[in-house]
């Protein structure tokens, strides 16, 4: 009995001890569960915040998109929408692109040269010494302006003879044929005319001769060289006191308001060009309209090419003799192509040519890159777009500027 009681007590004690151990382990487990619970709740709270932020961002993006749409820009499509007032203000014209007759052109290198028909050389007709300079290199001179004063023994002799002949002729003429013989009268007249002509041949003009005869200027042999036309002095190879021979080039004067371009092309191509055909003269920064003025009928012995002379307006003094240029010359051959006004084709930010195509809605435009084959008579010959397309033919610069305000980079590769 006592044995059974002891066994029961021991069993109760063991059960109590096990229960106590479980209670010690449960707080740790309970803490861990609490932490996991808290983490789960935090994650749920953080997820809610992320979702709210994402929704706020979407709302903000929608607002930005709405604002851009209201301003006329569409970043995704790279287009712009102009209202009727903007179209009217910028004088924008939209036309349907159609094929039309175009002229085949040829490109050729060229060199700027002086217009020989507007260029003169200043040189003495006799051996002379330079006494005074009245103009210098680079000066713009007018017709009749004194350029150089020279002196010559031959001129002094001619002046002396003219003074004597003039005096004799005036005396004989005053006496008349009733007093002097016809032979003497005629001889005096002829001697005067010969002396006058001799003085002019040496370089004196009528005004200088009149001063010599009327004002009784001394026969010192001095005379002037005058500008025979207006223009710029391009050469003046002399110094005062220098002795020069007859024909020595003292100055070169050219009217540079029009210049010549010598373009070199093959004989076959030259046969397709006529005088009067339009041309374009180009440098890195210039593009000038011109016309074919002359065609050479002989070939260059070295290059075996033919020269085409192009005349170009140079009133702004942009071209100078010796410059190398590129030319585009129209031939007599024609073909069908797409043409646009030159101002309707602009360079994009990456240097390609672009035009502005009207989209489905009026006033909505998109930049489209095209290939420009060449320019002719104010028109651009293009490829890379279909006939019937509605494009901006006037006011393209305004459209491009409005697109640029949105910071778009237009590509159509």
User: Same domain for 368 and 278?
Assistant: no
User: Same domain for 130 and 247?
Assistant: yes
Query: What is residue 122's predicted lDDT score, i.e. its pLDDT?
Result: 95
Q: At what angle do helices 153-175 and 206-214 cross, to 10 degrees?
A: 60
Among 253, 278, 305, the domain boundary falls at 253
Q: Which domain holds residue 177?
A: 124-253
H/E stretch holding 25: helix 2-71
| Domain presence at residue 53 | no
User: Same domain for 346 and 330?
Assistant: no
| Domain presence at residue 360 | yes
DSSP string for 288-355: EEEEEEEEEEEE-TTT--EEEEEEEE-TT----TT-EEEEEEEEEEEEEEEEEEGGG-EE-TTS-EEE
Query: What is residue 155's predicted lDDT score, i.e. its pLDDT?
Result: 93
> Alpha-carbon distance 289 to 184, whole Å?
66
| Domain presence at residue 62 | no
User: Same domain for 131 and 91?
Assistant: no
| Domain presence at residue 359 | yes
Q: Which residue has the tokens 């006004």?
A: 341
Query: What is residue 250's predicted lDDT score, i.e. its pLDDT?
Result: 96
| Domain presence at residue 21 | no
> Alpha-carbon distance 16 to 140, whole Å?
127
Structural domain count, the chain: 3
Strand partners, 362: none
User: Same domain for 242 and 270?
Assistant: no
**Nearest to residue 307, comparing CAs of 260, 263, 261?**
263
Among 334, 357, 380, the domain boundary falls at 334
Q: Is 27 left (phi over 0), alpha (psi -120 to 50) or beta?
A: alpha
User: Same domain for 171 and 199?
Assistant: yes
Q: Is 138 left (phi over 0), alpha (psi -120 to 50) or beta?
A: left
Among 234, 253, 272, the domain boundary falls at 253
| pTM confidence score | 0.62
Digit-by-digit pLDDT tens for the chain (413 residues) are 444 444 444 444 444 444 444 444 444 444 434 444 444 444 444 444 444 444 444 444 444 444 444 445 444 447 888 999 999 999 999 999 999 888 888 999 999 999 999 999 999 999 999 999 999 999 999 999 999 999 999 999 999 999 999 999 999 999 988 888 999 999 999 999 999 999 999 888 888 898 889 877 788 899 999 999 999 999 999 999 999 999 999 999 999 999 999 999 999 999 999 999 999 999 888 889 999 999 998 998 888 999 999 999 999 999 999 999 999 999 998 888 899 999 999 998 888 999 999 998 888 999 999 999 877 777 888 999 999 999 999 999 999 998 888 644 444 44
| Domain presence at residue 354 | yes
- C-alpha torsion sign, points 106, 109, 112, 115: negative
């Amino acid at each position: 009995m006592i044995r059974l009681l002891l066994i029961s007590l021991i069993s109760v004690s063991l059960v109590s001890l096990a229960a106590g151990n479980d209670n010690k382990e449960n707080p740790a487990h309970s803490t861990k569960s609490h932490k996991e619970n808290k983490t789960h709740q935090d994650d749920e709270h953080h997820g809610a915040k992320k979702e709210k932020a994402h929704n706020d961002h979407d709302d903000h993006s929608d607002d930005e998109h709405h604002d851009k749409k209201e301003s006329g820009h569409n970043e995704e499509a790279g287009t712009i929408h102009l209202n009727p007032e903007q179209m009217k203000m910028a004088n924008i014209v939209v036309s349907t692109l159609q094929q039309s007759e175009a002229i085949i052109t040829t490109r050729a290198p060229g060199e700027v040269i002086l217009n020989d028909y507007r260029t003169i050389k200043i040189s003495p007709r006799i051996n002379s010494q330079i006494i005074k300079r009245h103009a210098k290199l680079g000066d713009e001179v007018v017709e009749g302006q004194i350029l150089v004063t020279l002196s010559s023994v031959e001129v002094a002799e001619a002046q002396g003879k003219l003074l004597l002949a003039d005096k004799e002729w005036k005396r004989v003429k005053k006496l008349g044929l009733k007093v002097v013989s016809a032979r003497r009268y005629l001889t005096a007249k002829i001697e005067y005319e010969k002396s006058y002509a001799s003085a002019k041949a040496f370089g004196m003009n009528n005004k200088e001769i009149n001063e010599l005869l009327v004002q009784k200027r001394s026969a010192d042999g001095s005379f002037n060289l005058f500008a025979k036309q207006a223009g710029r002095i391009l050469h003046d190879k002399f110094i005062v006191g220098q002795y020069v021979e007859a024909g020595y080039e003292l100055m070169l004067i050219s009217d540079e308001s029009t210049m010549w371009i010598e373009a070199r092309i093959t004989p076959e191509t030259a046969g397709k060009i006529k005088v009067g055909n339009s041309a374009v003269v180009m440098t890195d920064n210039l593009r000038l309209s011109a016309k074919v003025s002359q065609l050479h009928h002989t070939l260059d012995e070295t290059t075996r090419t033919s020269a085409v002379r192009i005349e170009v307006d140079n009133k702004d003094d942009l071209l100078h003799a010796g410059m190398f240029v590129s030319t585009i010359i129209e031939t007599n051959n024609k073909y069908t192509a797409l043409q646009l006004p030159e101002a309707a084709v602009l360079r994009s930010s990456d240097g390609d040519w672009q035009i502005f195509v009207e989209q489905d809605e009026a006033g909505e435009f998109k930049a489209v890159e095209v290939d420009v084959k060449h320019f002719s008579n104010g028109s651009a010959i293009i490829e890379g777009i279909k006939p019937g397309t509605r494009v901006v033919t006037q006011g393209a610069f305004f459209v491009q500027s409005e697109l640029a305000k949105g910071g778009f980079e237009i590509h159509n590769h």
